[in-house]
Chains A and B, each alone.
Chain A
Amino acid sequence: MEEFASLKGKCALVTGAAGGIGAACAKKLMEAGASVMVTDVNVQQCEQVALALNEAGGTVFFDVHDVTSEADWERVVGATIAQCGGLDVLVNNAGIYIGGTLVENTLEQLNRINRVNIESIFLGMKNAAQAMKPGGVVGNGGSIINLSSVAGLIGVPGHTAYGSTKGAVRLYTKHAAVEFAALGYGIRVNSVHPGLIATDMGQLVLDDFVEIGLASDLAEAERMLLDMIPLSDLGKADDVANMVRFLASSASSYCTGAEFVVDGGMTAG
């Protein structure tokens, strides 16, 4: 019997792996048999993630990674191939949240979130695809998973800056998927759209609801957000990581250019 969503012998790069969803993705990919490079701008915390996974029996490496830096991407992709022995999976997970209302947001804030959340997707797909495509240094094709958000699908107050970057990730994914398929690269590209997940970033969203005056305190902010979720609970980082693992594996080999929503029903109604 074929083991479901196995990643034995595969090499994966996960960005933003010091944080909740990134660390959970690294763990699930490792458990499925992949050797994993975890990267983050916060290298100390990233090292802790790698240490814990290696103690659990994984083959996990770590590196410092500013995802807005082209030089960092070149170095990290090279290091992944050298240390893991290839590159089959890229999880473009690194991202930031900047809240606030549209009229109060500054152009500096917008430029910063666009760089971290959109330019990183471009640089990641570009550098990974160069290595994965036929004739590339690895040349075995692969699977690229871009983390978007439900905020890339629907409107949410306080999310104009963040949501517009995530909407860009959604379409960036489709264009890259169709182009890579047309050129016979053997590289699949899909987006994942988490709802509100219990992570540090999820907490920032709650704080922002109070900050911009939509809720009088954190308890009310949490009630408001839970009311938006039919399953009445925040998601877990593992819920997102399970989907990422499915998309990383050959179980999803006919999926490309598609969007995978893990949101407790938030966008169904």
Chain B
Amino acid sequence: MRVNEKVALVTGGGSGIGEAICIRLAEEGATVIVSDINEDNAARVATVIGGNAVAMQQDVTSEQRWNQIMTEIVDRHGQLDILVNNAGIAILGTAEDASLKDWRATQSVNLDAVFLGTREAIKVMKKSGGGSIINISSIEGIIGEPEVAAYNASKGGVRIFTKSAALHCAAQEYAIRVNSVHPGFIATPMVGEVVGGMSEADGTAFESRILASIPVGHMGDPRDIAHGVLFLASDESSYMTGSELVIDGGYTAR
């Protein structure tokens, strides 16, 4: 049991990578709070886990909701040991044609929410002797992809914000580690939606271009990311902070 008796909050836990993370952390002994904007999805995952898993509806862009959720977690569990800022969206749009509305929506969910979650978690974790914050960035936070300009910017922001928060926590001696995870193309509903938003011909072309660009020749499984998150959540990574875990089938090595 790698994270026995730890309390973990996973945003966007109702589907895809977040769901796999919730299940993996629970398997290794954590009490998991499954947060999602879609209440039914959060409830479904909490039910699949069973035991002491809890579902919470959360719009991660709401500062007020973050405060409520943290208060509720401390009231109910006394502490928070692991925060996985996983919630995210991807909207198609190049640097030339993305709308300001889509750009702002993307930064709001993918970057503002990571800031809010990290800030609020630090306040809670520093009182209970530390913790591990894991921000889900992307390979799109390391390299460019012309179809998703706003997503690129948001995930690049998450990557360096993570380092800033890690250095702050280290300097304050909070025993809070902050690291980022960079999934490559993973078979999830989000990738499916991006492809679904294209014409059939464009979608097929996009998929075959992506597959041809992944050295190992296939998309990853949400569990591949969950294993990495588990490693960062556990004490086995206690000397890691401000670091990046790239899980991408070799995509950024080429």
Contacts and interface: CB of A to CB of B under 8 A. Distances in A.
A239 B216 CA distance: 28
B253 A258 contact: yes
A232 B170 contact: yes
Interface of B: 2, 27-28, 163, 166-167, 170-171, 173, 184, 215-217, 220-221, 224-225, 227-228, 230-231, 236-250, 252-254
A256 B253 CA distance: 8
Interface of A: 1-2, 4-5, 173-174, 177-178, 181-182, 184, 195, 230-232, 235-236, 239, 242-243, 246, 251-265, 267-269
Contacts of A177: 215, 250, 253
Given A4-B227, A231-B239, A254-B184, A268 B254 contact: no
Nearest to A250: B227
Interface of A is mostly: loop
A252 B227 contact: yes
Interface hub of B27, B184, B243 (most chain A Cβ within 10 A): B243
Contact of B253 (A2, A174, A230, A246): A174
Contacts of A267: 242-243
A264 B173 CA distance: 12
Given A177-B215, A231-B170, A239-B238, A254 B28 contact: no
Contacts of A235: 239
Nearest to A236: B239
Nearest to A269: B167
A230 B224 contact: no
Contact of A264 (B2, B239, B246, B253): B239
A254 B247 contact: yes
9 contacts: A2-B27, A5-B231, A181-B215, A181-B249, A231-B239, A236-B239, A239-B238, A257-B250, A269-B163
Contacts of B250: 177-178, 181, 256-258
Contacts of B215: 177-178, 181-182, 256-257
